[in-house]
Chain A
Amino acid sequence: NAGVMQNPRHLVRRRGQEARLRCSPMKGHSHVYWYRQLPEEGLKFMVYLQKENIIDESGMPKERFSAEFPKEGPSILRIQQVVRGDSAAYFCASSPIQNSNTGELFFGEGSRLTVL
């Protein structure tokens, strides 16, 4: 049973380009979360999605960032017109349907974005 799959693992973009990060949740999981981590820091919540729905996007920057989780295919975190401050590790996590209050989040290995 494969875990949470993220790709690419490493992505280099120049300022102004677009970055697309993909996440395939664990089999049977319908909840996806995106977190951002800067070096030597904890994870900052960005967005929580279920299939075809954004449930909580309170951590998403108002501009340039968007996320989707279509009925078919992986969840995608899109960053338009990247700036150097977007350089970070972006982690995706998934949980099963009807995850309890104490449920575990299963994390992928992250996508490391470097903006030149």
Chain B
Amino acid sequence: DGGITQSPKYLFRKEGQNVTLSCEQNLNHDAMYWYRQDPGQGLRLIYYSQIVNDFQKGDIAEGYSVSREKKESFPLTVTSAQKNPTAFYLCASSIGFSYNEQFFGPGTRLTVL
């Protein structure tokens, strides 16, 4: 089955700790994205990557970091600098950055205790 997997499904973190969310796709897509979703709000773009070894900040990149060392993987690190990290995090991919049709993973719910 082709698709996007995110792990873990639920994640709990103490304040002051960094945590890394995993995103893997086997769709052979070039572009990958990270979004944050808060209740009643639309998805907000954190980071995106058009191709391996390249990534750009989205609208709310502060307190987050990413890497793109492999085409199929785009992990997101939520650092202690992120003031309000409790949210639902969604990873997405598209064939290429010029394609608007994005396909989403199942998400990771991060809760800061």
A binds B: no
Q: Which residues of A contact B (CB under 8 A)?
A: none
Q: Which residues of B contact A (CB under 8 A)?
A: none
